[in-house]
Amino acid sequence: MPDITFIWKYEEEGSQIAKHLPNVHLSTWVPQNALLADKRLSLFITHGGLGSSTELAYLGKPALIIPIFADQTKNGRMLERHGIAHLIHKTDLLKPEKLKEAILKVLDDPSYQENATRLADMLQNIPLDPKQLLIRHVEFAARFGKLPQLDPYGRHLNIFQYYLIDVAIFLISVILLTVFIAFYYADPIVAGLFTDEHAEEMKQMWLDSPDPIAMLSKLANFSRAFEITCGKLFATHELVDSLRKEKFDLAIVEPFNYCGFAIMEELRIPNWVAAESTTGFDLVAYYTGRPIAPSYVPGATTTMNDRMTFFERMRNVVQTLIGSYLFIMIGDNEYKVVHKTHPHIRDWRESLSESAFVLSNSNPILSFPHPTIQKYIPLGGLTVEIDRSKLELSEEWNKILNERQHTVLMSFGSVIKAKYAPDIIKESILKTFALMPDITFIWKYEDEGVTFADHLPNVHLSTWVPQNSLLADKRLSLFITHGGLGSSTELAHLGKPALIIPIFADQTKNGRMLERHGIAHIMHKKNLLKPEKLKKAILKVLNDPGYQENATRLAGMLQNIPINPKESLIKHVEFAARFGKLPQLDPYSRQLNIFQLYLIDVGIFLISVALLVFFLLYFCVKKCCCRKSTTTKSKKD
């Protein structure tokens, strides 16, 4: 190839091995970074060391990778996956024609340079600057020291527990044992109506179990509500047409309700990201390739923490599967409505899996440690205002906070509202407040002008409270909450101890998350009917300084987290709008079946080989021993 100039980094000074080739230049040192950045350099032939691989990727240079040892083959495969490199075996260095063919393959195929240019553009505009990440994380570690919050409990599990082998064996045994009985005792689930307009059903939620298994009875009503909403949205042609005219560059779709993906497809929005309102949906994880680890990671709507017994792990698996089933049914039923009038719209699974990023309402410090992938962007705390100068309270609220030494805020969120609680629960709560006259209670209660607490001077009812500002005030001693993610995130960022009383959905998991940090105590909602137990739970948190100490430390970490959620949101959305779909972030695990993903096929093969070797050795030893015994016997005879 005399028409190609070759620069060869060759460490022997004054070497003459290439003096007969005018197109070859040897040098003991080369300005590699500067050369790779120069457009006149057409190709980089490299061993695939990580430094060289990273440089050529950032600077947009196609490569021929010839791995020598260690991680170099893996690095080469990484570049090959992006379509910017071709790999050959080092033995081909002994075959000039093969080496020439490989060089020309990359030089003559323009797609290598096109892919390299696009990849370099993405890397040079990556949302989070690596240098800033390094500085911020090192400073954070220096300030807060050890971070046990980030240690996954999976480290303490054996292989049978980690991969749920014991649970699988138990469940299979139970299924085999009960399969015939099930035919005789199966009892169909009857679904009841569940909408915000039906107060009786909302009251029932205060009494139902928060377990997702209990939510099965509400499936038909949840699903029907989403179907109606989605159908009406598509039927409002004026709205759809006006949205289409906007020609959006990017859509942000929440995969709690999959109709958003259908609207996005109908509007032909080219780029999109998914945004979870929870700390993580297991169903979304499954379809985007994020590993699900129910052996030590609680499911989205489960009632466990990360340290589970055998039966808790089994229950976590069942609850995780049921929670995913609920949302699969919701998504499929929504799309049945959509496909009646818009059959061309793709299935929601396809759209979800192609999301450039998944913006998660989780926080790496606060949430349970879990396996993740680069596609997941944690943004927990995004909406919490932590600047106390912007959280001033009115004179009315200041007066209430100054009434007594301790003030407690109680709010059950905006879905299962306090006004829907059965009267017997309300009366029990007021009896509890009456038992503690030296504590001021602020109760967010949604009915205007109610008088049922007028006889208690230490109780203040309000249809709305400045929750963020109250939680930021040191005069507030405790927050009694249902454990919604918004409230849980706010109290954690603002350093407030809590008593968590979950009602349904992900609230128990959120409570377990806070309990893990030592800033909250969880109480079952049935204890709202027992004034003495509720009083005991309140005093437990108020009288133990450990709760406030832990809350203050956690808030310090969350307010100084290395990656700012607002900054991360803006940069990742802009990146997705510019570069669109990012198949580079899709793990291949999505294409594997359960036997391949969990290496069951490999395990069976290895066990089979081990057994085969064992029996061969056994029979060989047995045969040798028998032969020796026969020989000895013959000599004696």
Regarding whether 626 and 580 lie in a shared domain, the answer is no
How far is CA 53 from its chain centroid?
29
Q: Within this chain, do residues 203 and 309 fall inside the same structural domain, yes or no? A: yes
Which of 106, 124, 142 corresponds to the end of one domain? 124
Is 532 found in the same domain as 427?
Answer: yes
pLDDT in tens, 575-617: 999 999 999 999 999 999 989 998 999 999 999 999 999 999 9
Q: Smallest Cα–Cα separation from 263: which of 368, 346, 199?
A: 346
- 3-state class (DSSP) for residue 481: strand
Token readout for 452 is 């049922």
Are 376 and 501 found together in one domain?
Answer: no
Q: Say if residues 330 and 222 touch (Cβ distance below 8 Å).
A: yes
Residue 188's pLDDT is 33
Do 256 and 337 share a structural domain?
yes
Instruction: Based on the fold, state whether residues 555 and 587 are members of the same structural domain.
Output: no
Percent of the chain scoring above 90 in pLDDT: 80
Q: What is the pLDDT of residues 382-440, one digit of tens each?
A: 999 999 889 999 999 999 999 999 999 999 988 888 998 999 999 999 999 999 999 99
What sign does the CA torsion over 584, 586, 589, 593 have?
Answer: negative
Model-level pTM? 0.88
* 397 plus 540 within the same structural domain: yes
Across the chain, mean pLDDT equals 91
Digit-coded pLDDT (tens) for 426-443: 999 999 999 999 999 999
pLDDT tens sequence across 527-584? 999 999 999 999 999 999 999 999 999 999 999 999 999 999 999 999 999 999 999 9
Asked, for residue 132, whether it belongs to a domain, the answer is no
Three-state secondary structure of 356-410: CCEEECCCCCCCCCCCCCCCEEECCCCCCCCCHHHCCCCHHHHHHHCCCCEEEEE
Q: Which carries the bigger pLDDT value, residue 169 or residue 463?
A: 463
Considering the domain architecture, whether residues 357 and 335 belong to the same structural domain is answered as: yes
Q: How many domains are there within the chain?
A: 4
Lateral strand order in the sheet of 85-87: 44-46, 63-65, 85-87
pLDDT score at 478: 98
Please report the DSSP string for 179-223 in residue order.
HHHHHHH--PPPP----TT-HHHHHHHTTS-SSTTGGGGGHHHHH
Could you give the 3-state DSSP secondary structure of residue 139? helix
Q: What are phi and psi of 385, to 5 degrees?
A: -85, 120
Q: Tokens for 390, please give them.
A: 């912007």
Is pLDDT at 497 greater than 90 in this prediction?
A: yes
CB-based burial of residue 17 (10 Å sphere; 0-12 exposed, 13-18 middle, 19+ buried)? Answer: exposed
pLDDT at 181 over 60: no
Q: What is the pLDDT of residues 83-93, one digit of tens each?
A: 999 999 999 99
In this structure, is residue 136 part of a structural domain? Answer: no
pLDDT digits (tens, 9 = 90+) for 117-170: 999 999 999 999 999 999 999 999 999 999 999 999 999 999 889 989 888 888
State which residues form the domain around 608: 597-637
CATH for 90: 3.40.50.2000
